[in-house]
A and B are shown apart, each in its own frame.
Chain A
Amino acid sequence: MSRNSLFFWIGAIVFLAAALLMTQVIGNEYPFFACYVILQFIVLSVSWSILGGYAGYVNFGTSAFFGMGVYTAVFLFKVAGAPLAVQIAAAAAVGALMGFALGLLTMRMQGIFFSIATIALTIVIETSITNWRYIGGAAGIQMQRPPVMAPFNSYVQMLFFVQALLVVLAIGTSRYIQNSWMGHGLQALKDDELAAECTGVPTLRLKLLACVISGALMCAAGAPAAMYLQYADPSSAFNLNYSVTVLAMSLIGGTAHWAGPVVGAILLGTTQQLLTVTISSEINLLVLGVMLVLFVVAAPEGIIGLIRRVRHSRKEGEG
């Protein structure tokens, strides 16, 4: 293990320990409610970037994967009263399958066609769920939380910690991919798909793999949301707002490095929580849209890119 990796995993363990400590010390539930959402968006943005950032395929289907995660959990809970861990694992499996299907379906599509296809997939799945009475149909479905497990005092605290685990899992995966042959392959594919294919990069297989991993993680992130809200309905679980929010977070943070989406999600997620509480959720969406456009126009490499540029120019100044 290199020194960098050592630092990374120590950081991850400290992060998890802090999250666990928080659940033991803080009695008030509100911070966990708010932080849960931010953590959820970190997972979504990081996993989105595996396909959207490294490979450059703009996936608008985040809400499809998220919503499927929610409804996998709902279904399992309703059928068998499955515990949370099972719900999440099953959601990851469903997400992987969905990613595989998406990859196969869009094998020959690039650019805007891929993006449009992912929106289409979202609406088709949403409509199917809407018409499935057993899990609530259009009206939605209520869920009763089971009793909480030790050492947690409340269910929200437990969900918060579970989401923190998913954050570490997602970032660890993304970081591993970035530094492995897969990341380099995806990078080549992003720069020039034809050239990559010609030089022996297995572009199709890489793309499929990225779809599968990204999909599995996004779906897993959605699974605890059913228990978090204690309610699920198709139009909010599959809401395109998730897609736009995650897109904005990833692009604002910068997609060239695994830390970009993390920074973006923390920054935007916190702003959103503050704005929703203090002003209104419409203003919060407006800020999101304006930030997205501003960054795409003025700082295409995101915050990570800005930091890099500053560092670079400082080095040149010294030399």
Chain B
Amino acid sequence: MGARVDVTPAAAALIRSLRERHGPLMFHQSGGCCDGSAPMCYLEGEFRTGASDILLEELRIDGVDEPVSFWMSAAQFETWKHTHLTVDVVPGRGSGFSLEAPEGVRFLIRSRLLSAPPHSGSD
């Protein structure tokens, strides 16, 4: 169980399937506007992270050899750091350039306070 970020079984299954089809993956949590406030899934290295980003977690997914990195901009992390994040997946349409959108689904973040008990059914 990740200290800061976990994935639901449904999200893990989608990550496995995207990994098989596309290659190693990464997430970058987006900020505001239309498709925003959502975790964007890219090929590892597609999105160039830098000093303005924080690596929140190296997600370990069953059936995926390498860890999947989960990033967020450092400024945004300041307002998110008191919460634990769970990557879930819901039926959906678009999400920027995120890899899952053409599958008719979309990654979604569910949150809980770090001091609170786990989100039911999410961990």
Whether chain B is bound by chain A comes out as no
